[in-house]
Amino acid sequence: MLQFFHEIIALANPLDLGVMAIAVIVGIIFGALPGLTATLAVALLSTVTFGLPVDIAMTALIGSYVGAIYGPSHASILLGIPGSAAGAATALDGYQLAKQGRAGEAISIATAASAMGTIIGLIALIALSPILIELSLQFTSAEFFLLALFGVLICGSLTAPDMPVKGWIAGVLGLLVASIGMETIQGFPRFTFGLTELAGGIDIVPVILGGFAIPQVMRVLRDQKEKADAVKSVTNLRPKWRELWRRKFAIGRAGLMGVGVGVIPGVGEDIAAWASYDAAKKADADPESFGTGNLSGVVASETANNACIGGAIIPVLALGIPGSPPAAMLLGALNLHGVRPGPMLSFEFPNFIAEMAAMLFWAAIGIFIFGIMMARVSGLVLRLPVSVLMPIVVFLAVLGSWALGLSIFNIYMMMCFGLVVYLLEEIGYPVAPMVIGVLLGTMADVSLRRALLGSNGSIEPFVNRPVSLVLIGLIILSLCLQSLAVRRAIGRSWDWVFGALKPAKKPS
Amino acid sequence: MFFTESLKKAIVIASAVLVSNAAFAQDFPSRPIDASVWASAGGGTDTTNRYLAEAMQKHLGGKINVSNRTGGGGGIAMNHVWNQPHDGHTWLGASEAMQIVKGMGFHKTGTADWRWYMVAGAPGVISVRPDSKFKTVDDLIEAARADPKSVRIGHCAIGCVWHMRAIALGQAADVDLNYIPFDGTNPAHMAGLTGEVDAVVSGIAEQAEFLKAGKLRPLGMIEMEPYDFDGLGVIPAAGIKYPKIQDIPAVQWLGMAIPADTPADVIALIDAAFVKSMDDPKIQALAKERQFNLYGQYGEEAEASLLAMEKAMSWKLFDLGVATISPDTLGIERP
């Protein structure tokens, strides 16, 4: 903890703060523009900052990450169109508020909530990372397999719009895509059709860019006529601290949910925001007011999606697996700079966790200052016609796919993937589990077979270790929760337990 | 009149071509050199090539740009360099992985088609968790002899140089070890820490931090010579008792390559710059920091040892069923 304050002061120099300021502004712009996502911001910046020292590069990446998760709130509130999925929940109430002429109020409270969410995330990062790093020595191939499976399953059930099985199908499709290429246990080429480019497997960056950018562009261009007018008047930007203080418990709950969702591999900021919005609505005395312009809805989703960042970085540093798609890009950048997550981190980079936390702290300050400053400007930017904006997005997606491996093939890949994802989304299959499937697929596949190889074919390592048993329990639980009968049974026992407690509590 | 005009033109063109050819070697490099590293940024191959580029551009004049063209087990970078003019302006950032490229079918060219410049590499070491019951390499070998396949050895991806060193040990001691491949050396080290594998084989350079931190304990070098590790003392050589480890002459090396049919005068310039670069303080510092042995081999000398390595590794991979094409049909004889 002391280290953390030390690092905050160490970062307070013109160079680091300057880089942070630029990165936060770039992040906010990326987040605010529909189609540009946090993943894209971190991906593009990691290629730009490659030549810089690791701490400057990380400052830039963290700044853009935090900025780009916060940025969508501007578009959500002013335009009613979320800048990216992470801000979609904010649009429900934020845009209603803006139409009532309270855009400034909504933006200021969203900004304050985002900054606070980031702080909750960084506290979790400091508190939980060392514990998980200690625990990481309990993670062998068997646990990595189960963790990957859990990530794909839970992402599938949380993101599917109508039925969880569609999410799982999308997840399995992602796993199939991940199996393309030379597998690393026996060196057998799978689904390569004799193409050299496919032998090395599918690169993750084109998949992310294709999956998230291209379908978004197609949808925005298709629905152009439906585009609502941007709200022009932004007044009264001073944060209302009393409104925030009234919601201190709601902020705490949203923050913890954000961190929790962040830690789970693969599930990211968008799900954190939705889950938290949903919880806030259920817990509120007046659930009907949600969706008609309730500040609580804005606070819930904006706190959670920013708290998710700290949570998503925890498994990156402890286990080397990403907690969300932008965190996957962050992990890639760490690898590029030779930072090895896990038990060796504290030896090779003793202050790394404190340093990351301090960067998050300055990023939180950054979105608070620049967020409010840019509120009026972003209204102008957002009114750029989509026919200008969307080609830029496609250009960046093409550039981003090409830049990492300098391979034209990746551009074709990105385009194909984007087209397939667009079609899938049109018939109700979510993209997130598919991308998560690609992200975690190799890990699931190779870990499973490696665990079996090590035990000479016995399934013992999956059932006689504490961590793997816990993970199996979680998987079974998450599957059971999809069944209506189980949920009803849990609801009944919940009522029964609390029904028994309530009368006993009253006299005291 | 017409005839003389066109004759004049022809002469001008011909002399221009001649001049440009003659001026070729003197002008080399006439544009920035593009070095394509087959491995991703940040690893040993990449770092070595970036240091080498800095050192060599001092002696060659001009600029050397290093980029990473990853994928296809090195085939993508090799294909790119091979398809450029063979004029010395396009280099391949290479490593020992290039010696299995032909056997695995990643690229049509093999060791004989390139001219190799070997900068440095690290010797292989086998290590265990500090609380492991194995105190020496012999302990481990005897345990495997008593119960075949019970001793799990972790190493980098299948066919990589440390996989080859691990096989070399198992084969030389004539025991059945359980070889567990990981995606890279670092995950293999992690598996060594968690106890998922009983021992890890990797380069002393990559393992250095783990050894210094006391997270791994070295059993022995899978080499013929012991290694004096700063602060840990001398790590004994397994090759003294099991000299047959030399049967698989796979060693780690990092460096670069150009097509072998590059013009001779350009080769002479690159050779000279390479020799001078090996004394460059930055290269020396890299070797010290990363615990590399400096090789400084190039040309015929490098080719002889790499051809032997290509034969040994290609056939081993074919025998293991990893490579599906018989190296015979590719012109790689059985060693």
Q: How far apart are the CA of B214 and the nearest CA of chain A, in angstroms?
A: 11
Q: Which amino acid is at A506?
A: K
Nearest to A406 among B69, B157, B181 (CB): B69
User: Would an 8 Å CB–CB cutoff place A335 in contact with chain B?
Assistant: yes
Boundary-marking domain end, from B219, B247, B275: B247
Q: Is it the case that residue B236 has pLDDT exceeding 70?
A: yes
Answer yes or no: do A50 and B186 touch at CB < 8 A.
Answer: no
Residue B150 shares a structural domain with residue B110: no
Scanning every residue of chain B, which has its alpha carbon at the shortest distance from the alpha carbon of A135? B194
Of B173, B190, B162, B179, nearest to B139 by C-alpha is B173
ipTM over 0.90: no
Give the pLDDT band of residue B17 (cuts 50, 70, 90): very low
Rounded distance between C-alpha atoms, residue A239 and residue A363, angstroms? 18
Give the pLDDT band of residue B237 (cuts 50, 70, 90): very high
Mean pLDDT (chain A) is 84
User: Would an 8 Å CB–CB cutoff place A405 in contact with chain B?
Assistant: yes
Answer yes or no: do A344 and B67 touch at CB < 8 A.
Answer: no
Boundary-marking domain end, from B247, B262, B281: B247
The order of strands in the sheet holding B199-203 is B178-181, B152-155, B199-203, B124-128, B217-221
The answer for residues whose C-beta is within 8 angstroms of residue A426's C-beta and 6 or more apart is: none
Q: What CATH number should be reported for the domain holding residue B289?
A: 3.40.190.150
Answer yes or no: do B42 and A450 touch at CB < 8 A.
Answer: no
The reply to whether B210 falls in a domain is yes
Mean pLDDT of A27-47: 80
Answer yes or no: do A407 and B76 touch at CB < 8 A.
Answer: yes
The reply to whether B9 falls in a domain is no
Nearest to A454 among B76, B107, B180 (CB): B180
What predicted TM-score, i.e. pTM, was given to this entire model?
0.78
Nearest to B71 among A138, A139, A200 (CB): A200
CB pairs under 8 A between A and B: 97
Answer yes or no: do B42 and A338 touch at CB < 8 A.
Answer: yes
Three-class DSSP labels, A62-115: HHHHHHHHHCHHHHHHHHCCCCCHHHHHHHHHHHHHHHCCCHHHHHHHHHHHHH
Give the pLDDT band of residue A281 (cuts 50, 70, 90): confident
Looking at residue B23, its pLDDT comes to: 44
Answer yes or no: do B183 and A338 touch at CB < 8 A.
Answer: no
The answer for residues whose C-beta is within 8 angstroms of residue B160's C-beta and 6 or more apart is: B97, B181
Domain count, chain B: 2
Rounded distance between C-alpha atoms, residue A363 and residue A307, angstroms? 12
| Token reading at B140 | 């481990």
Residue B146 shares a structural domain with residue B85: no
Report the SS3 class of residue B222. coil
Rounded distance between C-alpha atoms, residue B295 and residue B148, angstroms? 37
Residue-wise pLDDT tens digits, B241-261: 999 998 888 999 999 999 999
Percent of chain A with pLDDT over 70: 93
Looking at residue B18, its pLDDT comes to: 45
Rounded distance between C-alpha atoms, residue A117 and residue A299, angstroms? 9
Answer yes or no: do A141 and B104 touch at CB < 8 A.
Answer: no
Q: Is it the case that residue A405 has pLDDT exceeding 70?
A: no
Give the dihedral of Cα atoms B206, B211, B215, B220; nearest 10 deg: 90
Answer yes or no: do A199 and B72 touch at CB < 8 A.
Answer: yes
Answer yes or no: do B71 and A343 touch at CB < 8 A.
Answer: no
Which contacts qualify for A275-282: CB closer than 8 Å, 24 or more apart? A275/A158, A275/A304, A276/A89, A276/A300, A276/A301, A276/A303, A276/A304, A276/A305, A277/A89, A277/A92, A277/A301, A277/A304, A279/A253, A279/A254, A280/A250, A280/A253, A280/A254
Range of the domain at B223: 124-247
Of A315, A350, A335, nearest to A131 by C-alpha is A315
User: Would an 8 Å CB–CB cutoff place A55 in contact with chain B?
Assistant: no
User: Would an 8 Å CB–CB cutoff place A194 in contact with chain B?
Assistant: no
Of A303, A301, A322, A304, nearest to A312 by C-alpha is A322
Residue-wise pLDDT tens digits, A355-368: 999 999 999 999 99
Chain B residues with beta carbon closer than 8 angstroms to that of A336: 40-42
Chain A residues with beta carbon closer than 8 angstroms to that of B181: 184-185, 450
Residue B117 shares a structural domain with residue B256: yes
The reply to whether B40 falls in a domain is yes
Q: How far apart are the CA of B315 and the nearest CA of chain A, in angstroms?
A: 15
A250 has which bridge partners? none
Answer yes or no: do A450 and B182 touch at CB < 8 A.
Answer: yes
Report the SS3 class of residue B205. helix
The order of strands in the sheet holding B33-37 is B64-68, B33-37, B90-95, B254-259, B114-121, B293-298
Determine phi and psi for A99, rounding to 5 degrees.
-65, -25
Residue B305 shares a structural domain with residue B205: no
Looking at residue A161, its pLDDT comes to: 65
Tell me the CA end-to-end span of chain B in Å, nearest whole number.
Answer: 68
b/e per residue B132-152 (b: at least 16 CB within 10 A): bebeebeebbebbeeeeeebb
Q: What CATH number should be reported for the domain holding residue B153?
A: 3.40.190.10
Residue B102 shares a structural domain with residue B178: no
Residue-wise pLDDT tens digits, B63-115: 898 888 877 778 888 988 999 999 999 999 999 999 999 988 888 899 999 99
Residue B211 shares a structural domain with residue B199: yes
* Lowest-pLDDT choice from A219-228, A276-285, A306-315, B274-283: A219-228
Residue-wise pLDDT tens digits, A105-129: 899 999 999 999 999 999 999 999 9
Probe site for chain A from B40, B83, B196 (most A CB atoms < 10 A): B196
Looking at residue B49, its pLDDT comes to: 93
The reply to whether B114 falls in a domain is yes
Chain B residues with beta carbon closer than 8 angstroms to that of A186: 158, 321-322
User: Would an 8 Å CB–CB cutoff place A287 in contact with chain B?
Assistant: no
Q: How far apart are the CA of A248 and the nearest CA of chain B, in angstroms?
A: 42
Residue B111 shares a structural domain with residue B159: no
Q: What does the domain layout of chain A look like in residue ranges?
A: 2-490
User: Would an 8 Å CB–CB cutoff place A50 in contact with chain B?
Assistant: yes
Looking at residue A35, its pLDDT comes to: 63
Chain A residues with beta carbon closer than 8 angstroms to that of B84: none
Scanning every residue of chain A, which has its alpha carbon at the shortest distance from the alpha carbon of B191? A140
Nearest to A450 among B180, B322, B323 (CB): B180
The reply to whether B3 falls in a domain is no
Q: How far apart are the CA of A186 and the nearest CA of chain B, in angstroms?
A: 6
Do residues B252 and B95 lie in contact, with contact meaning Cβ atoms separated by under 8 Å?
A: yes
Boundary-marking domain end, from B229, B247, B265: B247
User: Would an 8 Å CB–CB cutoff place A464 in contact with chain B?
Assistant: no
Rounded distance between C-alpha atoms, residue B27 and residue A474, angstroms? 67
Number of neighbouring beta carbons within 10 Å of residue B131: 7
The reply to whether B10 falls in a domain is no
Distances from the Cα of A56 to the Cα of A4, A20, A49, A167, A340, angstroms: 17, 9, 8, 38, 17
The reply to whether B11 falls in a domain is no
Nearest to B181 among A137, A185, A203 (CB): A185
Report the SS3 class of residue B221. strand
Q: How far apart are the CA of A312 and the nearest CA of chain B, in angstroms?
A: 21
Scanning every residue of chain B, which has its alpha carbon at the shortest distance from the alpha carbon of A136? B194
Chain A residues with beta carbon closer than 8 angstroms to that of B68: 405-406
Do residues A312 and A324 lie in contact, with contact meaning Cβ atoms separated by under 8 Å?
A: yes
